C-alpha cells in the first residue's frame, strides 16, 4: 500500500519506508529532522513541467499525462518505491498545500498501475 503525507506532518511507525518525492527540499524542514528512506529527486516532475503546472487544478489532467510520460522515460527512478511497496506499506512525502493536485498523488497512481501490471504479468499463461 502506498500512502501520501505532507512533509510537515509527523512521522508514524505505520508509514513504512518514507520517500521524499520533490525536486526541491521543502522550506522550513531541517534535513536531519525528516525521517527518510531516500530523497528521490529524479521521480519529481521536471522543473519546466512543475512551473507550467503551478498547482493549477485546471491543468491537472494534462499535468498527469505529461508527468507519466516523463516517468516512462526513466523507469529506474521509481524502482526503489516499487521494490519497497512489494514488501509492505510505503509513504510518499510531498510539500504541496494542495493535497489532491500534486506530483505525489500522480506518482502514487503511476506506481500502483505499474505494480498492478507486474502482478498481472506474473500469472501463468492459460
pLDDT band at 39 (very low <50, low <70, confident <90, very high): very high
Q: Dump pLDDT digits (tens) for 90-117.
A: 999 999 999 999 999 999 999 999 988 6
What pLDDT shows up at residue 117? 65
Instruction: Tell me how far apart the alpha carbons of residues 63 and 72 are, in angstroms, rounded to a whole number.
Output: 14
| Strands ordered across the beta sheet of 18-20 | 2-6, 90-94, 18-20, 38-39
| Sequence-ordered strand ranges (E) for the chain | 2-6, 18-20, 38-39, 90-94
Count how many Cα atoms sit within 13 Å of the Cα of residue 64 in the half-sphere of its side chain.
Answer: 15
Average pLDDT for 67-71: 97
Higher pLDDT, 31 or 122: 31
The predicted model scores a pTM of 0.89
What pLDDT shows up at residue 70? 97
What pLDDT shows up at residue 116? 86
Q: Dump pLDDT digits (tens) for 22-33.
A: 999 999 999 888
Given a contact cutoff of 8 angstroms between Cβ atoms, the answer to whether 21 and 111 are in contact is no
At 20, give phi and psi (nearest 5°). Answer: -80, 125
What pLDDT shows up at residue 118? 56
**pLDDT of 49 over the 60 cut:** yes
Q: Which residues pair with 91 in a beta bridge?
A: 3, 18
Instruction: Tell me how far apart the alpha carbons of residues 75 and 62 are, in angstroms, rounded to a whole number.
Output: 20
Amino acid at each position: 500500500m502506498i500512502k501520501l503525507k505532507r512533509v510537515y506532518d509527523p512521522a508514524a511507525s505505520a508509514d513504512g519506508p518514507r520517500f521524499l518525492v520533490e525536486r526541491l527540499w521543502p522550506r522550513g524542514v531541517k534535513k536531519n529532522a525528516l525521517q527518510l528512506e531516500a530523497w528521490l529527486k529524479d521521480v519529481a516532475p521536471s522543473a519546466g513541467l512543475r512551473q507550467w503546472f503551478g498547482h493549477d487544478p485546471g491543468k491537472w489532467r494534462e499535468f498527469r499525462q505529461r508527468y507519466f510520460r516523463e516517468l516512462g522515460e526513466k523507469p529506474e527512478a521509481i524502482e526503489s518505491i516499487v521494490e519497497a511497496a512489494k514488501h509492505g506499506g510505503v509513504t510518499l512525502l510531498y510539500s504541496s498545500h494542495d493535497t489532491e493536485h500534486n506530483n505525489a498523488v500522480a506518482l502514487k497512481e503511476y506506481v500502483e498501475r505499474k505494480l498492478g501490471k507486474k502482478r498481472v504479468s506474473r500469472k501463468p499463461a492459460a
